[in-house]
């Protein structure tokens, strides 16, 4: 009954404030937050912004907290299978009944103020965090930073993972403009950890104007790969650590950002090398270069923008002659398909494209046309759904072949029920 009540609540919220309707701004959120009279004072807060890598950094921080014996509440978005994945205590999704109660509380405090879908559920997450035993609250920015609902709370430590050209219609069309939106989660006198090694010209001056304590990758903290792991150098500290269990060479950088952010919490939060190593081995978030089958090899990845596509291409490498490599691909309507396709052209012999459910989904014919404009060399075929595309890919691929499902969180989510049945 609790899950049904949550589904009904979210259905009503979607009807009133569709998830696709974005209204950036903190005025409404702060008014409702004031009425809620939330008391989060004893908890430390880490807010994570960035184009890519946010979910992985939060997963590493969650794992570090568990190793340190610190109760931790994480708020992330979107989810893959269950809405409750967005609100976790010590890695476990919140109970549906508790989410319903939190949404009810926000609704009572809302009054005549309009709240978007994301704003309402963000405030509900704040309510759940207040009621939890957590010492640490981890917040993933939904869009940008400056005007995102999570920025209504002041971060003790802010993290900027990367700066790429995504959501340009909201954040600006240059890396500098986007970076300015994202660094606004930092606060004067408090740490900002930046995982982007090459900042756009002018952003350092903007960071200095905030007055935060600034740690930049490559300058204030560094990592160096070794055959048996990597060496992380932080101010006054050096650690030899194993590679993270999460696949992808870029996860070392995400782990380094998380460890730097953890160090910024202060000496009371110090962990030893064994705890740090265990945290990297245990951190997990689904849909990040996740291998779910070996015969044929089947990989899931939520890569949904050009920067993430380039990383995926580097991990997959070019397709070897004689091996079939099948892309199951779909994308949202606001994502640039052509640069994604060009980055991954050499990795695939076949592209199976499909529409995504919902108002933001792009039609298969549009994706097919975009792939043709991009000049991909592989065969392109349109299917009626991601599920049908995945089934067809499995029929095409032999034991030594490869299937990669990617393009959006929604693509992986729509494929997930089929994957459970394939065996």
The pLDDT value recorded for residue 167 is 77
Burial (CB count within 10 angstroms: exposed 0-12, middle 13-18, buried 19+), residue 189: exposed
Q: What is the pLDDT of residue 423?
A: 57
- In this prediction, residue 1 carries a pLDDT of 59
DSSP assignment of 146-175, as one string?
Answer: TTSGGGGSPPSEEEE----S-SHHHH-SSH
Strand order in the sheet with 87-89: 92-93, 87-89, 72-75, 136-140, 44-49, 157-160, 191-194, 213-216
CB under 8 Å to 81, separation ≥6 — which residues? Answer: 413, 416
Instruction: Read off the pTM.
Output: 0.94
Tell me which residues of the chain have a pLDDT lower than 70.
Answer: 1, 423
Question: What are the CA-CA distances from residue 95 to residues 5, 65, 87, 128, 279 (Å)?
Answer: 12, 21, 9, 10, 25
Classify residue 380 as exposed, middle or buried by CB count within 10 Å of its CB (0-12, 13-18, 19+).
buried
Q: Name all domains of the chain by residue range, CATH numbers in brackets.
A: 2-282 (3.40.1190.10), 290-422 (3.90.190.20)
For tokens 């035993």, name the residue: 133
C-alpha distances in Å from residue 238, one per residue of 235, 264, 280? 8, 15, 16
Do residues 262 and 58 make contact, with C-beta atoms less than 8 angstroms apart?
Answer: no
Looking at residue 361, what is its pLDDT?
A: 87
pLDDT at position 272 is 94
Instruction: Decide: 53 and 253 in contact? Cβ < 8 Å.
Output: yes
| Contact status, residue 313 vs residue 301, Cβ threshold 8 Å | no
pLDDT digits (tens, 9 = 90+) for 161-188: 999 877 777 788 899 999 999 999 999 9
Residue with tokens 């937050």: 33
């Amino acid at each position: 009954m609790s899950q049904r009540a949550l589904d009904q609540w979210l259905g009503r919220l979607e009807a009133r404030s569709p998830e696709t309707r974005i209204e950036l701004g903190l005025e409404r959120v702060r008014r409702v937050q004031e009425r809620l009279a939330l008391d989060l004072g004893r908890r430390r807060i880490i807010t994570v912004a960035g184009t890519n890598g946010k979910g992985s950094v939060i997963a590493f921080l969650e794992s570090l907290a568990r190793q340190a014996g610190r109760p931790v509440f994480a708020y992330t978005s979107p989810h893959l299978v269950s809405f409750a994945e967005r609100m976790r205590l010590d890695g476990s999704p919140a109970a549906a009944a508790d989410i319903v109660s939190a949404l009810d509380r926000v609704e009572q405090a809302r009054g005549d103020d309009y709240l978007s879908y994301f704003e309402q559920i963000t405030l509900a997450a704040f309510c759940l965090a207040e009621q939890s035993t957590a010492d640490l609250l981890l917040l993933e920015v939904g869009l940008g930073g400056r005007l995102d609902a999570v920025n209504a709370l002041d971060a003790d430590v802010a993290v900027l993972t990367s700066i790429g050209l995504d959501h340009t219609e909201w954040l600006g069309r240059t890396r500098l403009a986007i970076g300015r939106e994202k660094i606004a989660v930092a606060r004067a006198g408090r740490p900002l950890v930046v995982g982007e090694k090459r900042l756009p010209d002018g952003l350092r001056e903007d960071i200095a104007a905030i007055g935060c304590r600034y740690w930049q990758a490559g300058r204030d903290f560094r990592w160096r790969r070794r055959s048996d792991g990597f060496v992380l150098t932080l101010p006054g500290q050096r650690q030899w650590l194993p590679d993270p269990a999460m696949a992808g060479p870029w996860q070392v950088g995400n782990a380094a950002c998380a460890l730097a952010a953890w160090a910024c919490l202060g000496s009371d939060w110090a962990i030893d090398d064994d705890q740090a190593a265990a945290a990297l081995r245990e951190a997990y978030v689904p849909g990040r270069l996740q291998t779910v089958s070996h015969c044929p090899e089947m990989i899931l990845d939520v890569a949904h923008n050009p920067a993430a596509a380039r990383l995926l291409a580097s991990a997959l490498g070019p397709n070897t002659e004689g091996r079939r490599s099948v892309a199951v691909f779909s994308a949202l309507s606001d994502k640039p398909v052509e640069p994604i396709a060009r980055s991954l052209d050499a990795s695939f012999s076949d592209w199976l494209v499909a529409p995504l459910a919902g108002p933001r989904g792009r039609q298969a014919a549009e994706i097919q046309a975009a792939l043709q404009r991009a000049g991909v060399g592989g065969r392109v075929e349109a299917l009626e759904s991601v599920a049908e595309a995945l089934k067809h890919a499995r029929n095409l691929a032999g034991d030594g072949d490869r299937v990669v499902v990617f393009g959006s969180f929604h693509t992986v989510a729509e494929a997930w029920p089929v994957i459970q049945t394939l065996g």
